[in-house]
Copies of this chain bind each other. A is one copy, B any other.
Amino acid sequence: MSEQVLIYSRFPKSQMARIGERYDLLDTGGKTPSEVFSAAELKPIRALITAGSQPIPGRVLDTLPSLGAIVCFGTGYDGVDFSETTARGIAVGNSPGANADAVAEIAMGLMLASMRRLIIADRYVRSGGWAKGEPTVLTTMPPGIAGRKVGIYGLGEIGRKIASRCAAFDTEVGYFSRSRHDAPYAYFDTLDALAEWSDILFVAVRAGADTRHRIDASLLKKLGPQGTVINISRGSVIDQTALVAALQTKMIAGAGLDVYEKEPQAPDVLTGLDNVVLSPHIGGQTIEGLATMQDCVVQNLDAFFAGKPLPYPIG
């Protein structure tokens, strides 16, 4: 009989099919486990798979007394409370860097679509507005990408891939990170200084309690009225209310977002704006990105159930 694994977050079924071939999956559909399964069903569960960003508080862990492993599908693990997992002896693993290419590609797509207004452009052609010569914001020229100053917040694997792709567009690239890297880009020792300098600011930092709302009203003001912010990290890094206000008042020019404060929700005040490009947290989701993430998840689970250390441990 296969081992049982709880699916803690809401995933498309197709993403779990490969893992379901090896394990008996109990799918919560993203609900609290005790709402979907009985205490008797939850009691023997030894491992769970989470999207990483969804909080797993102590009261949930209390309903899973046999839990020994939390496996994050993707690189992020900001929903995991390590004081709780450490106290319970629960191992935590992730899929490090598995989808860095895919996420960097979405970041670049969001940046180009924002700067060159591709959502508005596509709508203008499809609606017949172009054929009829209707007035459009598209006749007001946007700045091009070449020659712009691109700031990258967080120069991890994804940040470095964004940097090298932006450099090929003949931009100037700078970054802020906890420490200076051996990289051919300008280092800024504060995020504020980076925002002040940047025309385009990519948020590629690993999210956690320390990065919550680091992009706030004051920082957006420094980015300024020609500025565009792209977030492919986590929604928590940006104060979403401040971002909406900045976009409404044109304190900044635009935004491209793959992540939100409360997924899968994007508030109406955001979805009603024309100067944003929105995608539903699909950054890592390519055939290759998914396969590599699944590999990491399977390897973490296999090792755990074989009584071995996780090959991709966190903390």
Contact = CB atoms under 8 A, between A and B. Distances in A.
Contacts of A279: 116, 118, 121-122, 125
A216 interface: no
A168 B165 contact: yes
Contacts of A138: 280, 282, 285
B105 A109 contact: no
Count of chain copies: 2
Given A143-B287, A145-B101, A286-B144, A119 B116 contact: no
Interface string A145-156: 111000000000
Of the four ranges (under 10, 10 to 19, 20 to 34, 35 or more), the interface on chain A belongs to 35 or more
A285 B112 contact: no
A169 B105 contact: yes
B286 A141 contact: yes
A105 B112 contact: yes
Contacts of A26: none
Contacts of A277: 118, 122
Given A116-B105, A116-B106, A287-B141, A122 B169 contact: no
A289 B144 contact: yes
Interface stretch (A10-18, A37-45, A63-71, A299-307): A10-18
A59 interface: no
A266 B105 contact: no
A277 B271 CA distance: 20
A105 B287 contact: no
Interface stretch (A83-91, A126-134, A189-197): A126-134
13 contacts: A12-B139, A105-B169, A109-B112, A109-B115, A112-B112, A122-B279, A125-B271, A131-B264, A142-B285, A142-B287, A165-B168, A165-B169, A167-B168
User: When A and B form their complex, which 5 residue pairs have the shortest distance between CB atoms, in order from nearest?
Assistant: A168-B168, A109-B112, A144-B286, A12-B139, A121-B279
